[in-house]
């Protein structure tokens, strides 16, 4: 069995890779956009996927000129939209089987 490696980042690495300040990161975490993990020494670490999420949030912030709370709402709505589209596709597939079957 192979062990999967998970890439994580410290706060300073995370800020470097995403281009957000530590102050912005505190707000982003407070809004629940990303959730850091705590190390045994009580320091935050972030998963690689969190970098992708914050990159997307930063792009939306620049493009839409919204504050972080507005970005948090946009990201939530985008995720809800993605989820609903996925469920819709599943239901359409089930309906097609039912009609043709």
In the predicted model, is pLDDT for residue 3 greater than 90?
A: no
Mean pLDDT on 39-64 = 90
pLDDT band for position 92 (cuts 50, 70, 90):
very high
Domains of the chain: 8-100 (1.10.1660.10)
Which of 3-17, 28-42, 47-61 shows the highest mean pLDDT? Answer: 47-61
In the predicted model, is pLDDT for residue 24 greater than 90?
A: yes
pLDDT band for position 39 (cuts 50, 70, 90):
confident
Mean pLDDT on 67-79 = 96
- Dihedral of CA atoms 51, 53, 70, 26 in degrees, nearest 10, equals -30
Write out the H or E segment, with its range, that includes residue 23: helix 22-30
Whether 10 and 47 have beta carbons less than 8 Å apart is answered as no
């Amino acid at each position: 069995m192979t062990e999967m490696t998970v890439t994580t980042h410290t706060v300073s690495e995370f800020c470097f890779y995403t281009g957000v300040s530590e102050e912005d990161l505190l707000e982003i975490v407070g809004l629940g956009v990303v959730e850091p993990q705590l190390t045994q020494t009580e320091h935050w670490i972030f998963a690689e996927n969190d970098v992708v999420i914050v990159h997307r949030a930063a792009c939306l912030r620049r493009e839409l000129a919204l504050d972080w709370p507005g970005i948090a709402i946009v990201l939530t709505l985008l995720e809800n939209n993605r989820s609903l589209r996925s469920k819709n596709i599943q239901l359409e597939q089930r309906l097609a089987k039912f009609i043709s079957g």
